Amino acid sequence: MANWISRVAQTCPVHPSLPTPFLQPPLEPDIVVGAATSLSSLAVEAQLLAVMENFGKALAAALTLGFFSMVFVLRWVLRYREGLSWEGGAALFNWHPVLIVSGFIFLTGLAITIYRLPWTGKANYETMKYIHGALHTMAFTYASFAMMAAFGSQSAADFPNMFSLHSWLGLTTFSSFGLLLLVSACIFLLPFTPLSWKTACMPIHGFVGRFLFGSTITVALTGITEKLIFGLSDPKYTDSPSEALFANVMGMLLVGYGAAILWISTRPAWKRTSEFTLPGGVEDKVK
């Protein structure tokens, strides 16, 4: 140690008042590597916390918009329309928008984001697939009752079905969603489906699912507009009565909910880390 200090003192200019004990030998390599690793871990942890904080804000915004969308649709049919009833008439039809918004749209949004939730990161992937599928099945069930309410009430009132763009788009989206649900269950839930099929179908599954989610909201907006045009006579929709303004705000809430869900589901930083880890592309934990 004394020899090392004397060599450093000879090669490095040191102020005369600086005592030699201030000269310390260099740190051992393993200490330097350990310190660097700790700093790197802290940086990664801080980055993950920042990412999760942003995710929490986006999720809170989405849930808030979805919740108020459900509140608004209930308030709409209970205050401005004829209420809710399964006995027939206009009250039967009012189940259609309520079930579409509170069941079909809201539950589909939850199903899309289920893999992004932080507390599901360590959950078994197989379990998350079944939860994802169950939420979509519930959403499709709500939509089925909504379709029954629409067709049943209009047929009882001798009102024509399937003449408007809303009805065409609605039936197409509903049928496509049911087909996607059936095909996805066969491909991703059956244990004997080849991994290569799952790998090839996963990007298509994600794209079609998001597309149908956006289509459902679009169809809902056309339905709201159609109902206001046919349902408001004195004052008319063009006179901007309170019901029209209320329904327009509800439509904006639906658009906001859809945008928040699609934003969450397409952010790479919020994707489940083990979702695409196998060499084939898609993680498959079916044993």
pLDDT at 276 over 90: no
Q: What is the pLDDT of residues 121-173, one digit of tens each?
A: 666 778 888 999 999 999 999 999 999 999 999 888 888 889 999 999 999 99
CA-to-CA distance for 14 and 7, rounded, in angstroms?
A: 12
pLDDT at 274 over 80: no
pLDDT at 275 over 50: no
pLDDT value at residue 21: 45
pLDDT at 51 over 90: no
Q: What is the pLDDT of residues 218-272, one digit of tens each?
A: 999 999 999 999 999 889 999 999 999 999 999 999 999 999 999 999 988 887 6
Residue 164: Cβ-neighbour burial (10 angstroms; 0-12, 13-18, 19+)? middle
Q: What is the pLDDT of residues 55-96, one digit of tens each?
A: 889 999 999 999 999 999 999 999 999 999 998 889 999 999
pLDDT at 206 over 60: yes
pTM for this model (two decimals): 0.78
pLDDT at 278 over 50: no
Give residue 280's Cα distance to chain centre.
25
